[in-house]
Structure formats: C-alpha cells, structure tokens
Structure 1
Amino acid sequence: MLSTQMTMAEAIRQVADSRPDQEALVCGEVRSTYGQLLERIRALAQGLHGLGVRRGDKVAALLPPGPEFVHLFFAVAELGAVIVPLNPQLRRRGLSGILHDAEPVALVTFRPIEDEVRRQAASLRHVILTADLPDLMAAGEAAPLSLPDVSPHDLMALLYTSGTTGTPKGALHTHRTLLAPVVASIKLRELWMRRPSLKTLTQTAKALARYRERLLRAAGRPQTFLSTVGWHTITGLEVMLQALLMGDRLVVMPRFHPREALRLVEQERATVLVAVPMAFQVMLGLEEFERYDLSSLLICGTGAAPCPPHLAREIQRRFGCAVHIGFGATETAGGIAATSLADSGKRQAETVGRPMPGMEVKIVDQMRRELPPGRVGELACRSDSVMLGYYRAPEMTAEVM
C-alpha cells in the first residue's frame, strides 16, 4: 500500500515488483513494462553515481515528457539527490537564471545549451544529452551501486513556479510532500479504481447512473492515462506520479497536438485524458472531432488555468465523460481541491470541487484570521503536501507559511 512514509524509490520499486510484466509507459514507438522501467531506473542511477552525483546534489532536467524524464526522476530519487525539472522551452536568459539559482551539479537535456549558459552555471560539472543516456546506463549496469539511506523527509525536488506574479520561485518538496497528493488521489478515486464497496455504495450509485458502461469497464482495472501537460509543471508531474505509482498505464505526448491526442485516446483506449483548458478547446474545435472513438474515456481532467463552465459542459457533452477540474499550486504539490465522479454535472462544471483527502482549508483575511462563510479572503491550506519553503528565500517563505 502506497504511503507517505515511503521514499519515491521505495514506491516505484513496490509497484514494479508487484506487476513486472504489466505495461507501464507508452511514448511513440517505445513501450516499457514496469520491470523494464525499474531496470532502466537502476542503471541510470548507477551511471549518475559513477559521475559523482551524491545524496543532496541537484540534477536539472531540461526534458519534454517521456521515458528519459521518468528514468531520471526515479534514478535521482534512488540516489537521494534532488530533481530540478525545467521548462523545455526555456531559452538562454531564463535557463541561465534558474541554473544559477538552483546550482545543479548535472543537467540532462534534450538539446545542446549555449556556452554562455554553461559559463554562468558555475556549479555544473556535467551536461548530459539524452542521446548519451544509453551509454551512461550501460556503464551503470557494470557498476553495482550501494544505495544511500534516504528518508521520506529528505528533499526530493526543487520546483520552480511559473513566474506569472514575478520572478520564478523554487518550491522545496520532499519525497513525502510529493507522495501525499498521490495517496490523496487514491482515496478520491477509490470509487472507480476498485470494485464498488459498501462504503462507497451511495457514491457508486450516483456515478453509475451517469456513466454506466464506462464506469463498469474501468472499475477494478489498471487505468490508461494520456498526459498532454509538461512535466516541469506540478500538474504534469503529479499526473505522471499518480499513473505510475498507482500501477496504471501512462501514455505520453512529448508535445501536445490536438489530432494526435485524440488519435491516441482511440488507439490506446485511454480512460483518463489530462490537458489544460485551452488544449480541450482546441480539440473540440477540430472539424473531424466526431470521427474519433472516445468511448473509452471515463474522465477528462483539467487544471493549471481556469476552466470556464461553458467549456466544462462542452467537454462533458462531446467527450461523453466526467470532468475533473483540479485546483492547486506548486507550493502544495498540486491538488488542493477537485471534483469527482460522484459530483453532479453542474458541480463538475461550475466548481473546483471539495478539498482533497487530508487537505485542510480555510478562508482568512490579511491578518490570517479565519473569515465566516460568504466573505472574500485568501485560501489557507494545511496538509502533508505543503512545501518546506522557497529555496534561498526565507522572507518570501515567511510571508506565506
């Protein structure tokens, strides 16, 4: 059973050991079982260790979604190091700024970086192109690794905010804070992930009344997630973690394309499609939308930007499934609240649902005093998923925590 008392490495090992032959990851022509995934993670961890990456070191990832990111994320976890996911569209100035701030010892990148960027990132000892990863993994296979003692409370990720309200800030997350939303999602989706129980009978009845065949096909089986959101965002990262750490199947798009997304839903029989609201709007605008067989979908999940009620209703109507609108933040490792299958169509379209399991929320004023219902204020959150603070920014941390 997945728990916040685990490390990321322990979590993926538990899943892989329980279903080594089940397909875990699909990306283009690449298909990997959980057993193969674990072998590659271990080989890359050993290869990185051979380069001198140690516990507490930071490893930056300038990568689109794909197998390389998955291997790197969990390999870094094995070593007790810290992953720094970067937007693959970052250019010289933005990339230099974050690398200078984060001080990684290694950068794994899908494209060469400019000499000027490397000069400004004085901490960098290694720049590794994805084309060179197979050789690094092969070298790692020949070098047995004694794993360090890693705690769930150790730092796991330095996640930079989008910078929409100023300079991007690095949110410090541990293994525990990143696992907490996955554990919460398991509880939230118990209704459709497992066979209905007496405990969930009322909710099950409501969901069955709306989704019938789709819910019955999905219940009690591994789900197939189609992720179209970048993994440098907390939305995309948590989708990746949820799919793999719950033992499901993850279909990946390195770059979003509306026709390709719909084709993959049909081809791979995806049950969960995750995209930002604008991506759903683009897909719905395609003339050939109705030609695709989307009957496998149970949930269209969206977040990272506001989803207007009219768009949510259009998704419900034309995709023929539930809409899960999630509300969260990088600082809370994603989900603060979300809608569910048991919610009415109106509630799914017009709200962001209820707080996630384990998440406490209240509305406060500028003095952090709790406000009564109906008053406007700021949302205060408390859960196991809340960050430790902002990296090298104690004053900003004190303002929000």
Structure 2
Amino acid sequence: MHYRELKEAWSELTAPGAPFEVVEIPVRGNMIRMFKNAPPSVRELWLSTAAYGDRDYLVYDQDRLTYAQAHAQVNAIAAWLFEQGVKPGDRVAIAMRNYPEWLLIYWACVSTGVAAVGMNAWWVTDEMEYALQDSAPKVIFADAERLARILERPSMTGGAKVVAVRTEAPTGVIPYAEVIAGGGAMPEVSVDPDADACIFYTSGTTGVPKGAQLTHRGCIANLLNMGFSAQVQGLAVAKATGVAPNPAAAPIPAGLLTTPLFHVTANNCGAYATTAAGGKLVLMYRWDAGEALRLIKREKITAMSGVPTMARELINHPDFETTDTSSLMTLGGGGAQLPPDLVGKIDGQVKTARPNTGYGMTETSGIITAVSADFFVDKPESCGPAMPSFEVKCVDDDGETVPPGQVGELWVKGAPVIKGYINRPEATAESITDGWLHTGDVARIDEDGFIFIVDRKKDMVLRGGENVYCAEVEAAIFRHPSVAEATVFGAPDERLGEEVGAAVVLRPGMELTADELRDHLGGLLARHKIPRYIWFLNDPLPRNASGKFLKRQLRETLKPEAAA
C-alpha cells in the first residue's frame, strides 16, 4: 500500500506556504494546532457561497432553493433576529426535523455571532424543557411536533419568542413567513473565532445532557480537516500510481443528508463540506433506503454518508441493482465504526463509489480521523489517521502516554476541541485536561499513524450512531417505584450495532411487565433510549468488590431471546 507516499503527500500539503499549512497558536491558555490559512469564522464561509448564485442548494421533497434564494432568506432571518434584540453571544434554538429552514436559520445565527442551539428532535417534553432552560435561547424556531411539546408546557420557553416553521402559528407564536417577509441585509458584525458557533447536546453520563460549545475556529478547522483528508489521500495515490486526478472532471457535489442536523455528522461534516464547495444538499423526511435510492438517481447524488446500517440497507435493498447509482463517488458513514465486511461490500458492489469513514465526536466539532478508498480497503478495521489540526496520544489510567502500538484511552488536542459544556464547569474539567480532550474511547495507533478503536471506556451504548448513556436510562428506570436494582448496557444488534438492554430486579412483592416499564420510560426519555431488551431477574445483580454492577458479565450471559 501507499503509506510512504501518504507521508510524503502529508508533508507537502501541511508545509510552510502550502494550502494546509499548520501552525501552533495560543487558545484558552494552551498552544494548539490550527490551519494558518483558515478563515476566522463561519461567517466568512457562508458569505463566500453567495458567489454560487443560481446553483441548486437545498432540495426537500418538491422544494428547491438556489444559493441566491437561500442567501435572501438567511439575510432576512439575521436582520429579523437583530430587530428582536438578539445580539452576538446570544443563543437561538432550532427544534425541528431536517427541513431546509433548519440550515437557513443556522447560517443566519453563525453569520452574526449568535450561537445556534441544536435541539434533538427526538426529545420528549422533559428533555426539551431541560435543554431550553439550560441554554436560555432568546428565540426558538420549532416545527409542528416540537411546537406541540412547547405548548404542552409553555413555561419551558423561559419567555423566549417562538417561531412556527411549516405549521400554523397559534396565538402568541410568530409564523416563519413573518420572519422572512421583511427581507433585509445581513447585519455587519465581527465574529470572534472563539465565540460559540453552536451548542449541540450530548447525552450525559450523569443522567442529563450536556451542551457542548463548538466554536467558530473549531467548526472551520473541521471543514479544512475534511478537505485535507480528500486531498492527501488522492495525492498519495497519484504519487504511487503516476496517474494524477483531474479536478476539472469532478462534478459539482450533491450530498444526501440522511442523519439529523442537530448532530455534527450531518451538520459540521455533511452540510459544511457540500456548502463550502457550492454543492447541492438533498434532505429526507426520515431515513428510507428505497427513497434514498430514488433520490440518488433523481438528484445525481455524489456522496451519501450516514450511520453504517444505512449503507448496508442501501446496497441490500431489492431496488439497488436496478437503480442508476453511477453518480455516487463516496459511500460510507460515521457515528459508529463501519464493520470490515461492509467496507469490502461497498467497494465491490457500488461500481463508482469508494468507501469512506470518519471517527469523531460532538466534542471535536466533527472528525478526528478520516480514511477512504484504497487505504480503508487495506485497513478496514481502522478509522484512519488523525487530521493535521490534532495532536493525539493513548494514555493509561494515570494519564501517562503508553508506548506506540499499545492500547490506552485516546486523548486529542487541537482547534476543533470544544470550549467546554455550558453551565457545567466540573464536567468540562473532567473531560478536558490542559487542552487534551479525553475521548472515552480505548484505542491503539499503528506504525503508519492509523488509529484503531478497540473498546469504549465510557458507560455508553452506541445505537445506530446515537450515543445513549447508560446512567441516563438507569436514572429513568429507577423513577419507577417497583424497581429495586437496574443496570443498562449495550446488546449486540446486527442492524444498529447495539441496542439498549436493561437487567432489572423488582422490589419484593412488586409486579411489573416490560411494556409497563417502557410506558413509564416513554414519558421521560426519547424513544431510541428506551431498552429494546429487558431482563427481569430474581437474584440480585452481580457486583464487583467496589459495588459496581458487572455489566460485561450480564452482557455475556443474558441472551436477547430470553428478554422481555
């Protein structure tokens, strides 16, 4: 394989004077890596896309917006927000499905130094209330389903103005049409690179979500990391084969967004990359492999990325062989490791597309690593090398760096690392040490610098790309009066990678069915967090010497077919 050429290409592209030159700069008391030629904020990125004018930008069902039309609406939203007294440093919440308005509102916020709060569209009323009270937005944009939850409990808004998107606006709620009716120009502001661009919530190990503060510098660094990954691997292959790529032959990108925009996978990776290149973003109401195939054919999609199960369902769909997918150039995903067999299947079954993946976190504004094509096929169990704006190391339980090739918790440091968690200084201090983010993932780094994730240190289930923290589900289970003991862990699942499992011991004399427990949890947790597998046990749960439940033992002994 071309690992020597990869190192050469890497050095060339990051050298002084090169497009991806890397420098060290002081940020929040630490020296971190950043691209020298990066624009200072996301505002510059969005404003630069006005040059794409009449190109298609956002496609949803029968709706189609050009860049010029998108800029007109973004300008109008930004002007309206400022008329309402919203100013740089304030927050605006977006609580809706992947409608075009999601991105228009997002660009209006980040272009004016206002932090966009991405509300998880799957949250139930309690979860929405927590995040709104935690983030204290000045304005909330909500679609029909989220608006219904707000109207259930109006006090959750904290007095924020509420705008109804793609639904009727009841009394006291502002119609979206009114927001954009006045037009207006983009307000003139200067955006600090270290200002919050957005707040994205991650499930909390302590039972409540944490609002991660992604900065403008971090979001821009992530975009350049993705651009670098594509260029460095292409250049390495060109050096090895002598066949140079022809940029002029590349089509205008067309990306199919299959995952929610309140996650970095769809927003910071999918939407940013396609938007920066003047490409077209095609949005779906919900994931459906047959509909995805139809859109790939109709819109000449060049890239589809989602959680691994989506790529598998696409190539296994009965219509796959008869659908024209020849526009596809990359197919892959993030949010979970692509199983090695799927890497080979994508490479073999999709004639024009190469497999790709990235490993990252909300806390790194997107990717930490990226790998594609020949390198991914050669090392299908790896998630690739860390991108140039990161330093990485594997450490033992004392925080000491382990020798090369040995396993330890992966720590990363660089421009994309979040500022911290809003209102959670203890959680921030626990997660970030002298600029080093503790990923909670156990990894090893091979002689080529490729990272292999081997386990998770965090008590978490990774269900179809969604982090479900066990403590949060356990806390909700324990709110049922019949429960004496409970522990939650990941159960293997062929489609989603893992499903949520719970082992439960009831109080003496109490009775409870799995459906009754799920009904109880339905009012407290988003649907994807509710255990699919529930085992009711008669004996106390096994514990170690320090009193912690032995989750691994339960995972190995409790079989899905025995669950309720």
TM-score computed with the length of structure 2 as normaliser: 0.64
1:102 aligned onto 2:135: yes
1:128 aligned onto 2:200: no
| Aligned residue in 2 for 1:281 | 312
Q: How far apart in 1 are the matches of 2:232 and 2:54?
A: 26
The alpha-carbon distance between structure 1 residues 145 and 263, as it changes in their structure 2 partners (threshold 3 A), is closer
The alpha-carbon distance between structure 1 residues 145 and 343, as it changes in their structure 2 partners (threshold 3 A), is closer
Q: CA deviation at 1:282?
A: 2.3
> In structure 2, the residue corresponding to 1:113 is in which secondary structure?
helix
| Aligned residue in 2 for 1:334 | 366
Q: How far apart in 2 are the matches of 1:190 and 1:344?
A: 15
Residue 234 of structure 1 aligns to which amino acid in structure 2? Answer: V
In the alignment, which of 217, 226, 231 is matched to residue 176 of structure 1?
Answer: 217
The alpha-carbon distance between structure 1 residues 121 and 25, as it changes in their structure 2 partners (threshold 3 A), is closer
Q: How far apart in 1 are the matches of 2:241 and 2:103?
A: 33
Residue 95 of structure 2 aligns to which amino acid in structure 1? Answer: L
The alpha-carbon distance between structure 1 residues 53 and 375, as it changes in their structure 2 partners (threshold 3 A), is same
Q: How far apart in 2 are the matches of 1:219 and 1:361?
A: 36
The alpha-carbon distance between structure 1 residues 109 and 206, as it changes in their structure 2 partners (threshold 3 A), is farther
| Deviation per residue, 1:27-64 (Å, 9 max, x gap) | 22222222221111101111222222222111111122
Contact 1:21 1:33 in 2 (8 A): yes
> In structure 2, the residue corresponding to 1:389 is in which secondary structure?
coil
> In structure 1, the residue corresponding to 2:214 is in which secondary structure?
strand
Q: CA deviation at 1:189?
A: 1.6
> In structure 2, the residue corresponding to 1:229 is in which secondary structure?
coil
| Aligned residue in 2 for 1:391 | 422
Q: How far apart in 1 are the matches of 2:311 and 2:206?
A: 25
For the aligned residue pairs, the C-alpha RMSD in angstroms reads: 2.4
1:138 aligned onto 2:181: yes
Q: How far apart in 2 are the matches of 1:55 and 1:73?
A: 14
Q: CA deviation at 1:342?
A: 4.5
Contact 1:188 1:357 in 2 (8 A): no
| Aligned residue in 1 for 2:377 | 345
Segment drifting more, 377-386 vs 252-261: 252-261
| Aligned residue in 1 for 2:79 | 46
Contact 2:389 2:416 in 1 (8 A): no
The alpha-carbon distance between structure 1 residues 249 and 191, as it changes in their structure 2 partners (threshold 3 A), is farther
Structure showing greater radius of gyration is 2
| Aligned residue in 1 for 2:154 | 118
| Aligned residue in 2 for 1:230 | 260
> In structure 1, the residue corresponding to 2:321 is in which secondary structure?
helix
Contact 2:229 2:370 in 1 (8 A): no
Equivalent residue runs for 1:294-333 within 5 Å = 294-320=325-351, 321-333=353-365
- The structure in which a higher percent of residues are strand is 2
| Aligned residue in 2 for 1:161 | 202
Contact 1:277 1:306 in 2 (8 A): yes
Q: How far apart in 2 are the matches of 1:206 and 1:158?
A: 42
| Deviation per residue, 1:126-159 (Å, 9 max, x gap) | 11111322221112x1x55642332222111111
- Structure 2: gaps of 5 or more residues: 1-18, 20-34, 167-174, 433-564
1:34 aligned onto 2:70: no
Q: How far apart in 1 are the matches of 2:80 and 2:226?
A: 33
In the alignment, which of 20, 44, 51 is matched to residue 53 of structure 2?
Answer: 20
| Deviation per residue, 1:289-313 (Å, 9 max, x gap) | 2111111111113011232111222
1:261 aligned onto 2:297: no
| Aligned residue in 2 for 1:185 | 226
Q: CA deviation at 1:392?
A: 1.1
Contact 1:5 1:152 in 2 (8 A): no
Q: CA deviation at 1:8?
A: 1.6
Q: How far apart in 2 are the matches of 1:255 and 1:294?
A: 20
Q: How far apart in 1 are the matches of 2:376 and 2:241?
A: 9
TM-score computed with the length of structure 1 as normaliser: 0.89
- The structure in which a higher percent of residues are helix is 1
Q: How far apart in 2 are the matches of 1:66 and 1:4?
A: 29
- Structure 1: gaps of 5 or more residues: none
The alpha-carbon distance between structure 1 residues 77 and 372, as it changes in their structure 2 partners (threshold 3 A), is same
> In structure 2, the residue corresponding to 1:226 is in which secondary structure?
strand
Q: CA deviation at 1:184?
A: 1.3
The alpha-carbon distance between structure 1 residues 37 and 222, as it changes in their structure 2 partners (threshold 3 A), is same
